[in-house]
Structure 1
Amino acid sequence: MLSRALCCGLTLLCALLGAPVAAAPVTVLKVVAQEGTEPKFIPAGIGRVVGLCVDLFRAIERTDPSLQFVGDQQWLPLLRAHSELASHQHDALCAVQKTDERARQYVFLEPPLFQLRYQLIARADDSAVISNWDDVRALGQQAVILTNRGYTTPEMLARVGGLHIDPSATSPVINLQKLAAGRGRFFLHRAPGMQGFIDRAGLTHKVKILPTVMATTNVYMAMGTHVDAAVRLRVQRAIEQLEKSGELARLLKRWD
């Protein structure tokens, strides 16, 4: 068996002579495209998914070529995506809000990927001026706020208190349609990507985004507890490099 010193010498000799050196083995991480999470994942024709998280996966792969994310072209309902990460059926979820329950199920990597801004969407002819939650409460029982089941917004609004909430819809598109049809006064949704989402839904002239930011929260790369700690560290270091280089900010600006 060759000694360690001899192996190192041969590797150096190969490099000097221009001979190929075996690349580091690639670690494959299974992910999914989460339904109803634009601009993280956006349908772009049959069998094609684009979006902020798809770009982020590719950026991490460029930063650390020993990492490969697979599955971002396969759709999965959001609730199922979360449950399958918790049960170790896949390895990571992109741009996830941290809650106490999720912190017990996943490992959240620092730094945050970006910040979500929550704003109210109203019908285009709605004259309401909203500066804070007290303004919404003052509108009474008719000021129903539409939210999505399985998202964090129902819990967020419950903590605010004194609001009338309809969390029955299973997707943001359904809530936009309900809002346009008068089945709610507002729809609480998040940016980045809100206007593009409205445009793709074909409701550009029927609804409008109110300017006040009602809440903000950070989102993170979440990884399964089963993923080796050394692999998680490699992903985290790649994210750190993307933040320091400004690439994270550039990706966010592209999809905002």
Structure 2
Amino acid sequence: MLPKGLRCGLTLLCALLGTHVWAAPTELKVVAQEGTEPKYIPAGIGRVVGLCVDLYRAIERIEPSVVFVGDQQWTPALQALSQLASHEHDALCAVQRTEERTRQYSFLEPAIFQFRYQLIARAGDTAAINSWDDVRKLGANGVILTNRGYTAPGMLDRIGGLQVDASSSTPSANLQKLIAGRGRFFLHRAPGMQGFIERAGATSKVKILPAVMATVDVYMALGTHVDPAVRQRVQRAVEQLEKSGELARLFRKWD
């Protein structure tokens, strides 16, 4: 038995320490999605940079009780989507909302960015494209390449009357198909299109057509298994970034 005075001293010390208990931050597991530049961009051996990496760090600065881990580990983009649905990781950045995904993920408001869809053509192509009608008029000579498993094929199907090839699953594969003449256009999203083309060594081979063919909002998505209290903290951080103009600044940085 400890002396009474020592017991009282320890009790007081514990009470004082109890007011300053440090809680470890909640870790949210993420992955770097392959083929989604500028969300994730390889930057040398073992290093990933990009729009989403910057966004995770910005959220952590505002909400230190949350830490995103795993954004330096590459995973195929379609696998990353399915892994969030199966709760193998906890969050994804800049995800387009669809009816199916709404059932699988918890989307946070507001939208964090707005992506633009534009057409990439071979450098010598003389087609003047201002609308989807201009593409339709080309008929079989207006085949649009797009990525299998992404949201673009469904979008083009809803627009209707277009010749679409969605047999390839990565932007790099479609860029090479375009250069080889196995399609007239490649529908890709901005920001980051020019950087993607430059890193592929295709600057002299293709060009980005100026017309914006579609715009889509993208969101932070969390797994439905994530604690609602944690989800609320992340949402408040996103709201603060939007109000402060930080989201717009990040978008311009990678555009």
SS at match of 2:110: strand
The residue number in structure 2 matching 1:224 is 223
Task: Quote how far apart the aligned CAs of 1:11 are.
Answer: 6.9
Task: Quote how far apart the aligned CAs of 1:23 are.
Answer: 3.1
SS at match of 1:166: strand
The residue number in structure 1 matching 2:53 is 54
CA contact (8 A) 1:78 1:150 kept: no
1:10-50, Cα deviation, whole Å (9 max, x unpaired): 479x8xxxxxx333431000000011100000011111110
TM-score by structure 1 length?
Answer: 0.92
Q: Cα RMSD over matched residues?
A: 1.8
Larger Rg: 2
Task: Quote how far apart the aligned CAs of 1:150 are.
Answer: 1.1
The amino acid of 1:115's aligned partner reads: Q
SS at match of 1:127: coil
Matches of 1:149 and 1:140, distance apart in 2: 21
CA contact (8 A) 1:40 1:51 kept: yes
The residue number in structure 1 matching 2:199 is 200
The amino acid of 1:111's aligned partner reads: P
Alignment of 1:106-121 (within 5 A): 106-121=105-120
CA contact (8 A) 1:124 1:205 kept: yes
The residue number in structure 2 matching 1:73 is 72
Structure 2: tracts of 5 or more residues without a match = 1-7
Alignment of 1:14-25 (within 5 A): 21-25=20-24
CA contact (8 A) 1:36 1:171 kept: yes
Matches of 1:23 and 1:126, distance apart in 2: 62
The residue number in structure 2 matching 1:139 is 138
Matches of 1:32 and 1:11, distance apart in 2: 37
The amino acid of 2:210's aligned partner reads: P
Task: Quote how far apart the aligned CAs of 1:174 are.
Answer: 0.7
TM-score by structure 2 length?
Answer: 0.92
SS at match of 1:110: coil
CA contact (8 A) 1:142 1:185 kept: yes
How many residues were matched structurally?
245
1:93-136, Cα deviation, whole Å (9 max, x unpaired): 11000000000000000010100100000001000001111100
SS at match of 2:211: strand
The residue number in structure 2 matching 1:17 is none
